[in-house]
Amino acid sequence: MSETLARQWLAQDPDADTRSELEALLGDPNSAGELAERFAGSLQFGTAGLRGVLGAGPMRMNRVLVQKVSAGLGNYLVADLQDGAKRGVVVGYDGRNKSRILAEDTARVLLGMGIRVYLSTFVVPTPVVAYGVTHFGAAAGVMVTASHNPPEYNGYKVYWENGAQIIPPQDSGIATFISEIGSVADLALGDLDTARETGDLVDLDNAMVSLYLDGVEKLALHPGLLGKTPLTVAYTPMHGVGARFVKMALERAGVSGVHVEPKQEEPDGAFPTVAFPNPEEAGAMNLVFELAKKVGADLVLANDPDADRLAVALPEADGFTMLSGDQVGALLADYLLTEGPQGDRRLVATTLVSSQLLGIMAKDRGVDYRTTLTGFKWIANAAIDARRENDARFVMGYEEALGYSIGELVRDKDGVSAAALFCELTALAKSQGSSVQARLDALYRSYGVFQTKQVSLVLPGADGSAQINAHMQRFRDEPPKQLGGFAIVESHDLANGGMGLPASNVLVYFLEGSCRVIMRPSGTEPKLKCYYEVCEPVSDGEPVTAAKERAAAQVAALSASHQGMLA
């Protein structure tokens, strides 16, 4: 069966690379297992769209799959939106292998269906595409990216007309239309040059980038501060697309001392200096730390390859310390709520697996708060709903995996605007004779030290997927009464919904003392993700470091105990 499907695939594949790869597999008598895995189904929309290893077959990312998905998207768009074809689709791409050709394939399929396309003429950050959807009033958007995945991956992220990533019913509706597409050899493909001449294809160029950067500049709470309080910033785009955009954004904000790690400045889909292009991975920040030490940086910043995430590190006596996504999120929220406009109805939001600290801060300050499922599409839609339902102004949202959205400029995470605002936050603290660390410690004194930790079990392939499902099922069948010596006071299985959230494959355990454990399969990678959090109060007169040490020991013990149950 797999061989038959593979030969049908070969007949329609326009890519010489994947044809050659598939022909080699068909000629190898030992490849039956791999062929079966590649044709066992098809990649599905997960937490952040389609994502998979580049290669031949429907369980891989390739030109055939992208053309089918684009045709399904186009058919759904035309069926669901009366003026969808006229309003068109914004299409962008990052610097990964085959990103440009996959974006152009997307454009050609849509043009062949009579749908207008706005196509980037160069690599762009993901937030620029999200911005473009609302700026042009487009019906949808597509970004070809695999974010921070390893080099062999690519992906396809879809935005709906509201500028947020698709959620139900769009995702299932598009999937239904995709399933109805036959051979891509039968698709009518538009010609890009002809479409430019007729105006059906609009090139996205520097003019739109300038408009986006205008919006980033307007997010500043203290315009001109960075020009008066010099900062030295060491930055890396991690071989991604962020350097050009972050440099322009920081220059507009007034930061003159930006030093970019030269070995990682240009987009390179091979990611030659990092094993895993994710700022959270061990060793990924080594080069920018060396640069930061050399230039005496006040702040270290890094984007992931599509620049929708931001990593932050602060100088300390013997090097630099990375802030977690939860710490950066709390600092940005504190800054925006303290220094930003007051008096109106304000909203902050974060995901279920992020720290509980933001919700406590919001309650203390009389600010609306939403918890969502994992994925920025849920945060963006929560912000849209809150604006529509009670005219709440979205101040910021974040997820613990280094994603932040500032205001209503972009309805997705944005590592460019977050970088500019964090520089401003740092400059204000510096101008006041304080520091970012001091601001964070002040939050801990007020609310307690919230210490988080994430552990992921990497379980690739069909066998790994079965193991992940077995782990989740075992905890459902035999619910624990305690974890790490902490009694479970409340548990939630979100398989059928709960906690005011849509149904999702997530298990949540609230433990005594504001501790928490969450389990969920990743929506984009072959991982079982486990999230741990403890809260340790800071006593009057006690050094914050003492509470941090207790919290670190507690979260380590909690994670070790839970991981032992998964062994």
Rounded to whole angstroms, the Cα distance separating 278 from 527 reads 15
Retrieve residue 415's tokens: 């590592």
Cα separations (Å) of 115 from 70, 83, 119, 166? 11, 10, 12, 19
Rounded to whole angstroms, the Cα distance separating 506 from 521 reads 8
Rounded to whole angstroms, the Cα distance separating 36 from 228 reads 62
User: How is residue 165 annotated by DSSP?
Assistant: B
Strand, helix or coil for residue 315: strand
SS3 content of the chain, % helix, strand, coil (to 5): 45, 25, 35
Rounded to whole angstroms, the Cα distance separating 475 from 508 reads 11
Nearest residue to 252 (alpha-carbon basis) of 215, 302, 298, 288: 215
Q: Which residue has the tokens 């959270």?
A: 280
Q: Is 541 exposed, middle or buried (0-12, 13-18, 19+ CB in 10 A)?
A: exposed
**Amino acid in the structure at residue 457:** L
Catalytic position from the list 70, 99, 147, 559: 147
Chain centroid offset of residue 430 CA: 30
Phi, psi of 507 (to 5 degrees): -115, 130
Would you call 504 a catalytic residue per the annotation? no
Question: Do 509 and 515 form a contact (C-beta atoms < 8 A)?
Answer: no
Rounded to whole angstroms, the Cα distance separating 468 from 166 reads 25
Rounded to whole angstroms, the Cα distance separating 547 from 555 reads 12
Q: Which residues contact 385 (CB under 8 A, 6 or more apart)?
A: none
Question: Do 167 and 47 form a contact (C-beta atoms < 8 A)?
Answer: no
Rounded to whole angstroms, the Cα distance separating 302 from 542 reads 33
Rounded to whole angstroms, the Cα distance separating 396 from 410 reads 11
DSSP secondary structure string for all residues of 61-109: B-HHHHHHHHHHHHHHHHHH-TTHHHH-EEEEE-SSTTHHHHHHHHHHH
Rounded to whole angstroms, the Cα distance separating 171 from 148 reads 22
Question: Do 458 and 288 form a contact (C-beta atoms < 8 A)?
Answer: no
Rounded to whole angstroms, the Cα distance separating 330 from 324 reads 10
Indicate which residues carry an active-site annotation.
Answer: 147
